[in-house]
Amino acid sequence: MKFRNLRGAITAMVTPFHDDGSVNLDALDGLIERQISEGIDGLLVLGTTGESATMTHEEDASVVKRTVKTVNGRVPVIVGSGSNSTATQKEMSLRYQDMGADALLLIAPYYNKSNPEGMYRHFLAAADAVNIPCILYNVPGRTGCEIPVSVVEQLSQHPNIAGIKEASGNMSYAMKIARLVGPDFALYSGNDDITIPILSAGGSGVISVFSNLCPRVCHEIISDWFAGNHQEALDKHLKYLNLMNDLFIEVNPIPVKSAMNMMGFNAGPLRLPLYDMSESHRIDLWTTLKDLRLV
């Protein structure tokens, strides 16, 4: 499945676990089938929402292998291969490419942070090693650092750098990145609540947490926008905005996994250091889901 120039809604998948904490690959199959049947345009595994930070390399590989097999070319599969170790990022990128990933997501080097030249070379090492598209991932709330616009501009010229997932929530930063958008470089919203503003700035879609719950709605927001039905897209976006915001009342993916379980989808438990939502937040989330007739 070709990824480059993909326009649409991409789900940042949760990783379902059994009650004992092990990866539940059968439940993953079910979640994937639902996403595809509801019209989602792509799937991302081993991202922030997938709790990859608490998984072993063997578990990561099992999720990638199962996802590629289950999807079977029906939609593009993007795999998070980023690391704060350049060598590890390169190794994982090559491994997931060989396992059938259609594209890779490369997060900014957390904890190390780096300077601009080091960050440029960090991403370059992976992009030079593979022959599938790579998406930069700017999420300073997680990494403690922002990918400088100058570095994004340099990397946007690389034939294997296909775009950026912009998850800072900073529209000023996003607008600077928007000037780089073209046929070979895409801007994806990494925050569901500002998907429409990102689209209005030339964005190609969203890499979404919300679409774990409502893949068809998320797909329709993007497809309506590109069909020129801007008001319909905005109306849908605003209808679900409270839910999009509630999915971040505690650190992601605590709320989205809780919501999925409330809705009857088998997302399973979280892995420490993530833990169950507070009771007050659970009530707030349940109320929002009920108001939208999702429970």
Residues annotated as catalytic (active site), given as ranges: 137, 165
Contacts of 77 (CB under 8 A, 6+ apart): 1, 42, 43, 44, 45, 64, 67, 68, 71, 100, 101, 102, 103
Are 81 and 60 in contact by the 8 Å Cβ rule? The answer is no
DSSP 66-87: HHHHHHTTSS-EEEE---SSHH
Report whether the peptide linkage leading into residue 273 is cis, meaning its omega lies within 30 degrees of zero: yes
Are 139 and 48 in contact by the 8 Å Cβ rule? The answer is yes
* Strand partners of residue 207: 10
Identify the helix (H) or strand (E) that includes residue 47: none
Identify the helix (H) or strand (E) that includes residue 261: helix 254-262
Distance CA 268, CA 234 (A): 32
Eight-class DSSP state of 52 = G
Report whether the peptide linkage leading into residue 253 is cis, meaning its omega lies within 30 degrees of zero: yes
Please give the single-letter amino acid code of residue 293.
R
Q: From start to end of 157-225, where are the E strands? A: 161-166, 186-189, 205-208
